[in-house]
Amino acid sequence: MWTLLYTMMAVAAWRVHAAGRRDERRAPAARRALGAWWVQLGLNLAWSVVFFGLRQIGPAVAVIAALWAAIAVCLARSAAVSRAAALLLMPYLAWTTFAAALNARLWWLNRRG
């Protein structure tokens, strides 16, 4: 699943970049969208490190919540530049929603009371 999602993320970023280069009026919005894209990518990496690498389920909930918000911002900013790019990011947001629910449930089941 991740191979497909990363491919779609990359194509979305490429479409935003290309739209910004083709139309000077869209360039500032494209830069903002690409900035948000890099933020979500960094949070994606951080969540993987915290959840899988460090096995810190509780802190991973906080990271994936920030990741979800960053993806939503990236999607909204991308939509202002390229509708196709925003559509390509929707499955990523959906998958992250599912992963966040699983992460939160694991935390809930393993909390110390």
pLDDT, mean over the chain = 97
Model confidence at 112, pLDDT cuts 50, 70, 90, reads: confident
pTM comes to 0.95
**pLDDT tens figures, 43-96:** 999 999 999 999 999 999 999 999 999 999 999 999 999 999 999 999 999 999
The 3 state secondary structure assigned to the chain is: CHHHHHHHHHHHHHHHHHHHHHCHHHHHHHHHHHHHHHHHHHHHHHHHHHHHHCCCHHHHHHHHHHHHHHHHHHHHHHHCCCHHHHHHHHHHHHHHHHHHHHHHHHHHHHCCC
